[in-house]
Structure 1
Amino acid sequence: MKKIILLRGVTPTGRNRIPKMAYLAEILTEAGFDNVQTYIQSGNVILETALSDETIRKLVHDTILEKIGADLSVIIKTPAQLEMAFQENPFDETYDLSRIHLVFTNDDLDTEALNGLSQTDFGDETFVAGSECLYLYLPRDAKKKRLNTNFLEKQLGICMTMRKLSVIKRLSELSLLF
């Protein structure tokens, strides 16, 4: 079964840097995953496996930690979940598409905490909860930047990772090709 791996915490330099995505694909293939494809340097992987999500998460995490030294959280989604997230985007063409971000987690979201966030005034920034992810509109000229992964993780008490709408669209497309 195809899975999309979204790594949380990849940095361009320092401890959580992945030197080359081709090397990441190589070590994940060596770990036993099939048809491993990577997309851009921020830690997006498409692979095939029959393993459970819990086993995938541990194997990907431990392989990266052992071979690269990066301690990254692993968010796992199916192609159908990514396609649904892309299709449910609540922002229309009047929004700058490059400023739309989708936030994913493996964890269940606390409905009460989500309702509280949904009713919060974030100024120029917009927060919307969807069925597969959280949607953020983060205009470049927002006066006060509040909505980010760290803030949401603290508010919801879970691990999350953020991707631009264009990245999710491309990952969804790529997952259908391979």
Structure 2
Amino acid sequence: MNRYVILLRGVMPTGKNKVPMARLREVVAAAGYQQVRTWIQSGNLLVDSPRGPLETAQDIQGLIARHIGPTLELVALRPQEVAEALAGNPFGEAFDQARVFYSFFTQPPGEGARDSIRAASFPGCQAIPGSLAVYMYVPMDYTRAPLNAGALEKLTGTPMTMRNTNTLRRLLALSQAPEAG
């Protein structure tokens, strides 16, 4: 059995991308997934699955579309991948870790996507592509910043989903718990 941290893209508490977490847990558990948990209302799901990450992601994407409504991009990460993403954070203690964000590609990026990110300029912000995530340092209000997941999507032509350091740390801790609680 494989454990996954699943990050849904664009989930909102209201509107067209609304995904009630209780309903999501119900639908995913009814489909046979085990240890189904969610954390906060922004599309963080943990499951145990006998399938690989891509097959699990595609199946859950279909379950959401069929039983809840929105068609959302998502990524399934193994707990060790979340740990690797956190460990790979290039922004050390000199940076406010509350202002570090991790953007994960929901599909394989196109040729040159990482080079495009390295070459781009985001005044006052920094973006550094890593093997699992694009690390972003955004010292100002994220909603007004020139660097955000939307800017990276436009630059690379690839959908991404973003989480902050604290969310990833919490999801990693939850994924390492032996049982749903």
TM over 0.5: yes
Partner Cα distance (2:44, 2:132) in 1 = 17
Partner Cα distance (1:28, 1:38) in 2 = 11
Structure 1 alignment gaps of length 5 or more: none
Q: What RMSD, in angstroms, separates the aligned Cα atoms of the two structures?
A: 1.8
Which residue is 1:38 aligned to?
Answer: 38
Q: Is the 8 A contact 1:102 1:135 kept in 2?
A: yes
1:73-152 mapped onto 2 (5 Å cutoff): 73-110=73-110, 112-140=112-140, 145-152=145-152
Q: CA deviation at 1:111?
A: 5.8
Q: Is the 8 A contact 1:99 1:139 kept in 2?
A: yes
Q: CA deviation at 1:176?
A: 0.8
- AA in 1 matched with 2:78: T
Q: CA deviation at 1:116?
A: 3.0
Q: Which digits, 9 at most, give the CA deviation of each residue in 1:39-73, with x for residues without a partner? A: 11110111101123333222211211222212211
Partner Cα distance (1:81, 1:146) in 2 = 28
Question: SS of the residue aligned with 2:71?
Answer: coil
Q: Is the 8 A contact 1:15 1:70 kept in 2?
A: yes
Total equivalences in the alignment: 176
- Farther off after superposition, 75-84 or 57-66: 57-66
Partner Cα distance (1:100, 1:141) in 2 = 12
Question: SS of the residue aligned with 1:108?
Answer: coil
Q: CA deviation at 1:96?
A: 1.7
- AA in 1 matched with 2:80: A
Which residue is 1:6 aligned to?
Answer: 7
CA gap 1:155/1:59 in 2 versus in 1, 3 angstroms? same
Residues 1:16 and 2:28 aligned together: no
Partner Cα distance (1:85, 1:149) in 2 = 16
Question: SS of the residue aligned with 1:95?
Answer: coil
CA gap 1:11/1:97 in 2 versus in 1, 3 angstroms? same
Which residue is 1:159 aligned to?
Answer: 159
Q: Is the 8 A contact 1:35 1:47 kept in 2?
A: yes
Identity %: 34
**TM-score (ref. length: structure 2):** 0.89
Q: CA deviation at 1:112?
A: 2.8
Q: Which digits, 9 at most, give the CA deviation of each residue in 1:137-160, with x for residues without a partner? A: 111268x72212222112212121
Q: CA deviation at 1:110?
A: 4.3
Partner Cα distance (1:154, 1:141) in 2 = 20
Which residue is 2:27 aligned to?
Answer: 27
Deviation >6 Å, runs of 4+: none
Q: Is the 8 A contact 2:117 2:156 kept in 1?
A: no
Question: SS of the residue aligned with 2:112?
Answer: helix
Question: SS of the residue aligned with 1:93?
Answer: coil
Which residue is 1:173 aligned to?
Answer: 173
**TM-score (ref. length: structure 1):** 0.90
Structure 2 alignment gaps of length 5 or more: none
Partner Cα distance (1:60, 1:41) in 2 = 17
Q: Is the 8 A contact 2:57 2:76 kept in 1?
A: yes
